Amino acid sequence: MSTIVVPTDTKELAIDAVRRAADLLHAGEVVALPTETVYGLGADAFNEAAVAKVFEAKERPSFDPLIVHLPAAADLPRVASVPPEIEEHVGRLAAEFWPGPLTIVLPKTEAVPDLVTAGLPTVAVRVSAHPIMSQIVRALGNPIAAPSANRFGRISPTSASAVEAELGGIIPMIVDGGACSAGLESTIVQIEATEKGKPIFHLLRSGPITPDMLKPFGKIKRRKPTDRPSTEPQDAPGQLASHYAPRTPLRLVENPADFKPEPGKEYALLSYRGEPKDGYLHLADWAEVAVLTPGSGKQAEAAVRLFFVMRQLDESGVDEIIAEPMSEVGLGIAMMDRLRRASVKGVDERPDGTEVA
């Protein structure tokens, strides 16, 4: 199959791209779509045969449920039946963070095929802020089920060319909406009502909506990052030991003293600032040094660049990628989560933090 990459640079091109993508989705095809977090591989969420194509293209096991994208919060009743005890809390989160990179897990309606939710009684829902995605989901008229547009277990794509590298030749169309502005997959929460006003937010995946941003609305609990038997439905995402992984081994080295280069091996350094005083630059004769914050130096810049840089280093031909740690505050929480999951050490050695904030 040849994969068409459709540009959206001008108003006319964007209108045409939206129409073509909606037509293909309507016909039961899959299309790679831009969102503000990462690119998604979309299908009409109410068309089971189309959703099956998403799993097939990604080689994603059917026990890993998909995220459903809605045009607006007002469309929630089409896919979720919100229990009265959390209705107010859902409303507050939606008002504050939608459209945007927050996914909420809620009891599903019968309209949502079991394949979308991997048989779970709940559905993960969000409203994307990307204007092209937003227009496509409106044009289709049905919700769009879309996981990240990568092969299962690989790095999420944050550009159309990254999608092409993952799924070129396998899917009919990629809508090029430019580089993703957040660069990390959405934050996923499940809401638990409590006796005293504020709810508990179970943080199933950290992401661009940080614990500090959620704190005014409820108490945050992070689920223990345990490995589950791999055939059970994944009701907390990314729990498989290897997730978001480059093909080249990546190792998060939390302390510079723990890295001893082996002779004859070529290493790349993934550095937050590229500052000698951080202690990593002098550890080896690096074949490549990639800096996450060459511009503003801010975390948002690092988040936008993280998957892009991981992908670049993966293609550079080194034997191993060594990642420097970064401070686990704000977006650093989600970035360290992704680095740990990508790291050859896997999730087993994560510090046991059940409470994030």
What is the strand order of the sheet 4-6 is part of? 4-6, 173-175, 31-33, 40-44, 144-145, 67-69, 122-126, 102-107, 187-192, 200-205, 219-222
CB of 88 to Mg ion, least distance (A): 31
What single DSSP character describes residue 196? S
Based on CB atoms, which residue is closest to ligand TXA, 6 or 318? Answer: 6
Based on CB atoms, which residue is closest to ligand TXA, 160 or 253? Answer: 160
**92 vs 79, 86, 109, 199, 218, CA distance in Å?**
19, 10, 21, 11, 10
CB of 279 to ligand TXA, least distance (A): 33
- Long-range CB contact pairs, 278-281, < 8 A, 24+: 278/324, 280/253, 280/256, 280/322, 280/324
Contact status: 148 vs Mg ion (CB under 5 A): yes
Based on CB atoms, which residue is closest to ligand TXA, 122 or 316? Answer: 122
Spatial distance between the Cα atoms of 104 and 269, rounded to a whole number of angstroms: 35
Which of Mg ion, ligand TXA, none lies near 166, with the C-beta cut-off 5 to 8 A by kind? Answer: none
**1 vs 33, 57, 152, 175, CA distance in Å?**
18, 12, 20, 16
CB of 203 to ligand TXA, least distance (A): 11
Interacting residues with ligand TXA between 223 and 252 (CB under 6 A): 234-238
CB of 67 to ligand TXA, least distance (A): 5
Among 86, 146, 162, 209, binds ligand TXA (CB under 6 A): 146
Which of ligand TXA, Mg ion, none lies near 188, with the C-beta cut-off 5 to 8 A by kind? Answer: ligand TXA
Contact status: 337 vs ligand TXA (CB under 6 A): no
Contact status: 122 vs ligand TXA (CB under 6 A): yes
Among 124, 302, 309, 322, binds ligand TXA (CB under 6 A): 124
Which region among 10-18, 118-126, 143-151, 331-339 touches Mg ion (by CB under 5 A)? 143-151
| Both tokens assigned to 201 | 């937010």
Q: How much of the chain is in helix, strand and coil states, percent to nearest 5? A: 30, 20, 50
**Residues at the interface with ligand TXA (CB under 6 A):** 35, 37-38, 40, 64-67, 101, 103, 105, 117, 120, 122-124, 146-148, 185-186, 188, 204, 234-238
